[in-house]
Structures are given as structure tokens and as C-alpha cells.
Structure 1
Amino acid sequence: MTMLDRFSHGLSEMMEDPDDVEYMTVVVPGDLDPFDRHYRFSVHIDAELRLARLGCSVGGGTLYQGVDFEDEDEEGENEIVSCILDVDATDVDGARALIRLHMPELGAPAGTLIQFGDHEDRFDGDRWHLDEPRSIEEI
């Protein structure tokens, strides 16, 4: 066994996406470029979730306001309201706690939400308000 094998033992299991998960979203307010979202938040949250064996962050998206994507005649700029991190959690409470710890460290703005089931945790810039009813129903 090489030195590298000794250090990397067990890491390949952590890189596999877990099977039995519950879907969660992290909503970050503001117009954030997808690459910025990925490198500022997603890669770090994904790594922490995998290391703690609480799940993974499997992508994300952008939430637009007042845009009809089927109307080809619509002109003007699309208003981006927030960006989304998709999370597959094997332990929702554990994943919520980990995300609440790391998002402020990564510079998450006030209004950041961790949505799970019919509830969400909301960051006001200083502290988290836990287990509130969802403020955004469809993402």
C-alpha cells in the first residue's frame, strides 16, 4: 500500500452520491453568477456534507421573478431574485446544522434560507431563525 493509498482510504466512498436522501434547497438572495455560486458556496458545502456523511450538494439554479420563459416576444432583462443550491441530505437536521455553520463563514447574505419539507431556517445577517414556515413555496 502506497502512502497516497493510506491517506485516501475511504475517500472514494464519500465521493459517491448517497442513495436514501431527502431533498433540500439553500436559497441565497441576489444576482449571483452560476460559477460564483458554485465556487463560493456549493463546492464547500458539498465537501463538508460528504466529509460529515450527511449528504451532498448536487447542483443548483437561479430563481427569476416575473419572467415568462414561454413568451418569446418578452424583451428586457430577466430579474434574478436568488440562486439555489440543491442538497441531498441523509440526515436533514445534521445537514441543516452544518449548513447554518458554514454559510455565514462563506459570506451568505441576510435572507439566506435553508428549505426542507414545509419549513425553512432563515438567516437575518446575525442569527438563524429555525423551523419557520416556508416563505417561498415553489422553487
Structure 2
Amino acid sequence: MIDRFLPGLDGKMEDPVDFTCMTVSMPGDLDPFERHGRFAIHLDAELRLAGLGCCSGGGTLYTHVDFDAEDPTEGADAATILDIDATDVERARALLRLHLPELGAPAGTLVQYGPHEDRFDGEGWQLHEPRGDLQQE
């Protein structure tokens, strides 16, 4: 049955060759299966169907890790990361800003690209801000 919908989609299933790396960063440490099921597969499908790239992976980023502790990540700050390979950064940003809240992205979610990021405060987006992780102290 689904085979009748697949003709013409082969090209959209190919990973892009010419792309710009972007990152979606969400506060908290999601289980990899939850990250994939709640966010990655949906964003990947939307990006591919729109011809804007793909979601190429993800992981967890820890900061303030105590490597001398028995459990080094206890008390550490964690962020769930999604890697985006975008063929059109501006249009990919717009797509991500539309779908991330629909998928339940929490306040504090960042769409990072180059030296800038879009920040979700739970109600709306602050656009094209300087990236906080690149700020000089």
C-alpha cells in the first residue's frame, strides 16, 4: 500500500552533500530512544520533504562534570542535542521554529547556526541572538 506513495521520494532520502551544520540544543538529558522518537524522526522527515536537509544524529552534552566523583555527571548540567545538516539555513530555521514547539520542545531550546542562535522561551522565539556558548568571559 505505501509503495504507491514512494515514487519520486528517492532523492529526498539521500543525505545532502552540500550543507551547513546546525544544532538544536534542549535543556535536560533525554533517553536516546525518546530523543529519536519525540524529535529526530519527525524533524528529519519534515526537513527531507521540504528539501532543506536532514537530522543527522544527536546526543547529550554535559557541562560542570566532576570527573573525580564516583558518578561524574551527578549534579552536572545536561542538554539534549540534535545535529541538523541544512541545505538552506534560513528556511531550516523557520521549519525548526515551527515544529519544535509542536513536538514539545521545552523553554530554553536553542537553534544554533554559525555564531548565532534562536532561543525559545516557552511562548515565542528570540531570533538571531549571539550564541551564548561562544561568548568571551
Q: Give TM-score scaled by structure 1 length.
A: 0.88
Which residue, out of 8, 14, 17, partners 1:16? 14
Aligned alpha-carbon RMSD (Å): 1.8
Residue 45 of structure 2: aligned partner: 47
Measured after TM superposition, the shift of residue 8 of structure 1 is 1.2
Cα 1:41–1:4 shift into 2, 3 Å: closer
Is this contact kept in 2: 1:62–1:80, CA < 8 A? Answer: no
Q: Give TM-score scaled by structure 2 length.
A: 0.90
Is this contact kept in 1: 2:65–2:72, CA < 8 A? Answer: no
Measured after TM superposition, the shift of residue 128 of structure 1 is 0.4
- SS of structure 1 residue aligned to 2:93: helix
Rounded to whole Å, the distance in 2 between the matches of 1:4 and 1:107 is: 28
Structure 1 stretches of 4+ with a deviation exceeding 3 A read 3-6
Matched positions, count: 133
Rounded to whole Å, the distance in 2 between the matches of 1:135 and 1:90 is: 24
- SS of structure 1 residue aligned to 2:57: strand
Is this contact kept in 1: 2:22–2:113, CA < 8 A? Answer: yes
Which residue, out of 63, 67, 74, partners 2:69? 74
Residue 89 of structure 1: aligned partner: 86
Residue identity over aligned pairs, in percent, reads 64
Q: Does 1:136 align with 2:133?
A: yes
Query: Gaps spanning 5+ residues in structure 2: where?
Result: none
Measured after TM superposition, the shift of residue 74 of structure 1 is 3.5
- SS of structure 2 residue aligned to 1:136: helix
Cα 1:4–1:110 shift into 2, 3 Å: closer
Residue 123 of structure 2: aligned partner: 126
Rounded to whole Å, the distance in 2 between the matches of 1:82 and 1:55 is: 23
- SS of structure 1 residue aligned to 2:94: helix
Residue 114 of structure 2: aligned partner: 117
Query: Gaps spanning 5+ residues in structure 1: where?
Result: none
Q: Which amino acid aligns with 1:130?
A: L
